[in-house]
Amino acid sequence: MTGWLRFAPILLLVLIVAAMLWRLANPPDTTVHSQMIGKPVPQFALAAAVPGVQGLSSAQLADGKPKLVHFFASWCVPCIGEAPVLDQLKKQGLTIEGIAIRDRPDELAGFLARNGDPFDRIGSDPESKTQLAFGSSGVPETFVVDGRGVIRLQHIGAIEPNEIAAIRAAVEQAR
Amino acid sequence: MRLVLLAIALVFAAPVLADSDMPPAYWANRQLPNPQQEERAQSLMQEIRCLVCQGESIADSDAELAGDMRDLVRRRIAAGEKPASIRSWLIQRYGNWISFRPPTQPIGLPLWLAPLALLVVGGLLAASRLKRRRSQ
């Protein structure tokens, strides 16, 4: 053990501590990204989530027009905060299809009455089956689906007001 | 004083539950009647990562989504689907990350070779030190 080799263990320790500190300062991304981007939407046919609206099926997502497919729920707190943003997107001419996760018709109806209903159709996904088929892992999540029914983008979490432009651009691109 | 009150209030605060109040899916916490099928489902569920509590398998996790995933696994096993096909269905959607037994890939090679390399380096080091001691 001569010369600089003597300091090798200390150097190793410093490197390990530095790596740990770096990881603490830059926590890893824990969001789960869907691998379905660029693939056609999975086959599904969901019953209407509330009386009086239409259910949603995969065939309806390939009708030539790009759409947002929005996974949400009445028990999801961030979804309440996101409602005005969805409303704005709807007013700007976007089609938003809803998929309600593990929800009850009465509770969902109350949620729509309180927070607004920007959805063209709302399908009910009581066991998260369609959510799993999309590669989605929570609510709220929004997918951009192009006119051929191909998934183009996944937005994880609530859409913030400053992200409206990006969502609109993605839908424009999917045309 | 205000801090103490706040602390006491926090002790009794109910966490906001990020869960629905729907009952768990039918097969979430129920065993399949066919023991062989249940065993197959169990061993697969222990190797699928929960999307919510990401360090746990769906067999261990209490998250609702994990329950829904157990329901999905049991239904498909009961319908005669092979565990490997269910696993690849999930990997297609969530990537290799979803499986606790990812396929061997070139990127994992250092992990397998590191112990061998360390053993060789250690052996050489020990050999050189022993030789030096003998020559002293």
Which residue in A137, A141, A154 has the most chain B C-beta atoms within 10 A of its own C-beta, making it the best mutation to test that interface? Answer: A137
Please compute the mean of the pLDDT values over residues A108-133 and round it to a whole number.
96
Contact across the interface for A138 and B51, Cβ inside 8 Å: yes
User: What span, in angstroms and rounded, lies between the C-alpha atoms of B113 and B107?
Assistant: 11
Contact across the interface for B93 and A133, Cβ inside 8 Å: yes
Contact across the interface for A32 and B69, Cβ inside 8 Å: no
Closest CA to A32 of A132, A161, A144: A132
Give pLDDT, residue B11.
Answer: 67
- DSSP letter for B99, please: B
A129 touches chain B (CB under 8 A): yes
User: What span, in angstroms and rounded, lies between the C-alpha atoms of B4 and B1?
Assistant: 5
Give pLDDT, residue B19.
Answer: 79
**What are the 10-residue block averages of pLDDT along chain B, 136 residues in total?**
75 63 92 96 97 93 95 97 96 94 83 94 93 73
**3-state secondary structure (DSSP) of residue A141:** strand
Give pLDDT, residue A169.
Answer: 95
B134 or A78: whose pLDDT is higher?
A78
Contact across the interface for B95 and A33, Cβ inside 8 Å: yes
Contact across the interface for A104 and B64, Cβ inside 8 Å: no
Give pLDDT, residue B122.
Answer: 95
**HSE, side-chain direction, 13 A CA sphere, residue A175:** 8
- CB contacts, 8 Å: B25 with chain A: 126-128
A36 touches chain B (CB under 8 A): yes
User: What span, in angstroms and rounded, lies between the C-alpha atoms of A125 and A44?
Assistant: 10
Please compute the mean of the pLDDT values over residues A70-75 and round it to a whole number.
96
Band of pLDDT at residue A84, cut at 50, 70 and 90: very high
Closest Cα in chain A to B52? A137
Give pLDDT, residue A38.
Answer: 96
Give pLDDT, residue B14.
Answer: 55
Q: What is the pTM of this model?
A: 0.83
Give pLDDT, residue B12.
Answer: 67
Phi, psi of A71 (to 5 degrees): -90, 125
A53, B20, B62, A128 alpha-carbon torsion, rounded to 10°: 10
User: What span, in angstroms and rounded, lies between the C-alpha atoms of B38 and A147?
Assistant: 41
ipTM value: 0.86
- CB contacts, 8 Å: B51 with chain A: 32, 137-138
Contact across the interface for B21 and A33, Cβ inside 8 Å: no
Continuous segment of H or E residues that includes residue A68: strand A67-72
Strands A96-101 and A122-125: parallel
Give pLDDT, residue B7.
Answer: 75
- In chain A, positions 73-92, which contact chain B (CB-CB < 8 Å)? 73, 75-77
A123-134 residue pLDDT tens: 999 999 999 999
Q: Is the predicted pLDDT of residue A2 greater than 80, yes or no? A: no
